[in-house]
Amino acid sequence: MIFRPQFKAILTAITFGLPFLSFAQNTPLLVNNGAMFYVSHLANSNDTVVVFVDGTVEHNDSIMVNLGKFIIKGDYVNNAQSGGDGTNPSIPGNRGLFVVHGDWENNGEYYAGDGKVKFPTSGLIEGTEVTRFHDLELVGPIVRSIRDSIDPNTSGPTIDVEIDETGTLDLDEGEFATNYNVLWVFNPSTGAIIRENCDTCGFVSSLDNGDLAWVTNQAAPYVFPTGSSINAPTDPNNFRRYRPVLITPTTADQDTFHVRFVNQNATNFGLPISQVDTSICYVNPWWYHRVKKDGGGVQNADIVIRSNPFENDEDYNEMANWSAANSQWEGMPNTSYGVVNFLPQVVADDYNDFQSFPEDAYILAFSVPSEPRVEGDSAMCASVPMTYTVPQNGSDYDFVVTGGTVIAEDDYSVTVIWSNDSLAAVYGSVQVIETVPNNINGGCTSLTRNYVVEIWPLPVADFTIGTDTTLPGGIFVYDILAMQDQSILTSEWNWDFGDGTTSTDSLPYHTYNDIGDYNITLIVRSGLECLDTLVVPVSVVEGLIVPNVFTPNNDGWNDVFDVRTSDVGPFKIEIYNRWGNVVFETTSPQISWDGTTMSGVQASAGTYFFVISKAEMNSGNVINNELDNFNFKETGWVQLIR
């Protein structure tokens, strides 16, 4: 053996029966064929014995115990017993440190004790027997792989590797490749696996049915640091990946979860990515995971899988599980999307349907987009333009309008004039379909948003003013005006006559008490404040109109001699017969003569002469605006016909 001091350690080796030392290139440098081999720790001292072997160590018989530091530059082959099994207190387990630069081959019994094995270089862990380590550490960006000695290239009898109930696995920046085997971590602490904080290193990789198995007994997140250095089969994503899975049991019952990262298209393993249920647009074509549990006490657990857009992953928002019964990827219940430390993640909350292959396959997916958000009034008046908008997010949108006319459209909006020729509300719609672009299948078509719009008719205000056409002279004070509504699509009327009076009748009547110019305003409504307005000006004039004939025969037509006045003060009228005799006279603002004389006798038919004098306008104007004074005389003839 070659002993080399390290720091201030005292270097001693207690060996028995070492038959030979060999320096041949492919021959072990140190071979034990039957001696008790100890690398000691000095009693009552913090110093440790260091044994350095610049080659391979082969332990074929008896017991080898490492209580110090055993540095092996070549392979370590254990064909016998390494460390005490606890039955003999004088033979402890391997409490020291193994630093093995070559392969680790265990064909016998290895008892780790509280010791540690460190691998500073790439190599294999192999043999015919399972190795249970206490603390296992990879140093730097190396690859340490498990290989079956029976058949290293295919899946056969597994030669698993184990971390004991209190041990740790420190991956550092390395890759622990289980290949077809299982790396068991029996320590249920969530900190039992340690790795360097790096993007594409410090992970466990596996093939076929190999995986990372971890015993759990806490309702806390367990980070399964899975990844792969096997290139994906298709560009542009042909590189190594670190894609962990976080599993949080919902109870502290003991169970064992298995996780494997598959860095290939799932179709290559009989799980076609094109076969998805109606809730899924597409699934991850580059990688997926296999997750299962051994059927312990945990019934439900949260599963978290993260994508990495910095390594060309899509921004997945859903998780899918393979259904063997339906031969398709199906969206999982109770999933949610979020971003943690700049990485998108999908969480399957309270999941309880853990199955064996092939239903242990879980993949990130993009769900069929939900109905797009549409903004715009959902209740409108007909014939009024309204613009409906969607988010400007880079998606493509298709608009289909029912019940209206599109007058403008661009990538993110459509402007509509709605139609309604009825008296009641009708309904139209803006149907919107969003296509979310992606690099997988070009785009995902959303569910259709049917944005329903209540359409109220837009009324048209219209009316005329009805007056007694038999009365000459325009509109006089106290004339009765009939509002003749001709509006359409109207359910409410609001009149304003311009003199301080209003009405909500559809056919109101109105009189003016003063002369002047007025605006009659009609506002009509059909519902939802759908309004239209019409304003008609009117003039109420002053004046005096004297008829020239009347027929007092009680037939209800022109039975009185009615002097029609507007805004005229008191005046005097005198009526003379053809002999110059006064047959009727009176002073009043409104004069009507029914053809009866002052003595109560019906006047005979004929022509009569009238004189109207001192008729004064309230405005101060005389009739016909002749002179600016209040005294005048109006004379004329009226014919009485019986």
Q: What is the pLDDT of residues 543-578, one digit of tens each?
A: 778 889 999 999 988 999 988 877 766 778 899 999
The answer as to whether 514 is a domain residue is yes
pLDDT at 90: 75
Q: What letters, b where the CB count within 10 A reaches 16 and e where it falls short, cover 68-94?
A: bbbbbbbbbbbbbbbbbeeeeeebbbb
- Tell me: do 552 and 484 sit in the same domain: no
For residues 524-539, average pLDDT? 92
With 60 as the cut, is the pLDDT of residue 265 above it?
A: yes
With 50 as the cut, is the pLDDT of residue 22 above it?
A: no
Smallest Cα–Cα separation from 322: which of 369, 376, 278, 277? 277
pLDDT at 20: 33
Last residue of a domain, one of 402, 435, 455: 455
Establish how many alpha carbons lie within 13 A of residue 166's alpha carbon, considering only the half-sphere containing its beta carbon: 5
pLDDT at 36: 80
Token couple for 512: 């003016």
DSSP 187: -
Task: Compute the distance between CA of residue 614 and CA of residue 41 in angstroms, rounded to an integer.
Answer: 146
pLDDT band at residue 16 under the 50/70/90 scheme: very low
With 50 as the cut, is the pLDDT of residue 18 above it?
A: no
The answer as to whether 228 is a domain residue is no
With 90 as the cut, is the pLDDT of residue 173 above it?
A: yes
Task: Compute the distance between CA of residue 195 and CA of residue 212 in angstroms, rounded to an integer.
Answer: 14
For residue 520, give Cα distances in angstroms to 477, 485, 538, 540, 566: 16, 12, 7, 12, 20
pLDDT at 15: 37
The answer as to whether 517 is a domain residue is yes
| Mean pLDDT over the full length of the chain | 87
Is the CB of residue 436 less than 8 Å from the CB of residue 446?
A: yes
Q: What is the count of structural domains for the chain?
A: 3
Last residue of a domain, one of 410, 438, 455: 455
Q: Where are the beta strands (DSSP E) in 8-100?
A: 14-15, 30-33, 37-39, 50-53, 57-61, 63-66, 69-72, 76-78, 81-82, 97-100
DSSP 624: G
- Tell me: do 518 and 596 sit in the same domain: no
Which class for 448: exposed (0-12), middle (13-18), buried (19 or more C-beta within 10 A)? Answer: middle
pLDDT, tens digit (0-9, with 9 covering 90-100), for 486-523: 999 888 999 999 999 999 999 999 999 999 999 999 99
The answer as to whether 451 is a domain residue is yes
Helix (H) or strand (E) holding 344: strand 343-351
- Tell me: do 496 and 523 sit in the same domain: yes
For residues 112-118, average pLDDT? 94
Smallest Cα–Cα separation from 343: which of 229, 202, 199? 199
The answer as to whether 310 is a domain residue is no
Q: Picking from 113-127, 324-338, 489-503, 617-631, which range would have the lowest pLDDT averaged per residue?
A: 617-631
For residues 93-115, average pLDDT? 93
- Tell me: do 627 and 554 sit in the same domain: yes
pLDDT at 489: 86
Question: Where residue 519 sits, what CATH number does that domain have?
Answer: 2.60.40.10
With 50 as the cut, is the pLDDT of residue 13 above it?
A: no
- Tell me: do 476 and 421 sit in the same domain: no
Q: Picking from 142-156, 316-330, 506-520, which range would have the lowest pLDDT averaged per residue?
A: 142-156
With 50 as the cut, is the pLDDT of residue 301 above it?
A: yes
pLDDT at 633: 74
pLDDT at 21: 35
pLDDT, tens digit (0-9, with 9 covering 90-100), for 572-611: 889 999 999 999 998 876 778 999 999 999 999 999 999 9
With 90 as the cut, is the pLDDT of residue 323 above it?
A: yes
Task: Compute the distance between CA of residue 175 and CA of residue 225 in angstroms, rounded to an integer.
Answer: 10
pLDDT band at residue 52 under the 50/70/90 scheme: very high
- Tell me: do 534 and 449 sit in the same domain: no
pLDDT band at residue 155 under the 50/70/90 scheme: very low
- Tell me: do 634 and 550 sit in the same domain: yes
Q: What is the separation of C-alpha 262 from the centre of its chain, rounded to a whole number of angstroms?
A: 30
pLDDT at 118: 97
pLDDT at 412: 97
pLDDT band at residue 33 under the 50/70/90 scheme: confident
pLDDT at 295: 80
N-term to C-term CA, the chain: 161
pLDDT, tens digit (0-9, with 9 covering 90-100), for 424-480: 899 999 999 999 888 777 789 999 999 999 999 989 999 999 987 667 778 988 889
- Tell me: do 474 and 517 sit in the same domain: yes
pLDDT band at residue 151 under the 50/70/90 scheme: low
Task: Compute the distance between CA of residue 21 and CA of residue 375 in angstroms, rounded to an integer.
Answer: 86
With 90 as the cut, is the pLDDT of residue 629 above it?
A: no
Structural domain boundaries enclosing 415: 387-455
The answer as to whether 83 is a domain residue is no
With 60 as the cut, is the pLDDT of residue 45 above it?
A: no
pLDDT band at residue 158 under the 50/70/90 scheme: low
The answer as to whether 372 is a domain residue is no
pLDDT at 441: 76
The answer as to whether 486 is a domain residue is yes
* Sign of the dihedral defined by the CA atoms of residues 99, 104, 105, 111, in that order: positive
Other Cβ atoms less than 10 A from the Cβ of 177: the count is: 24
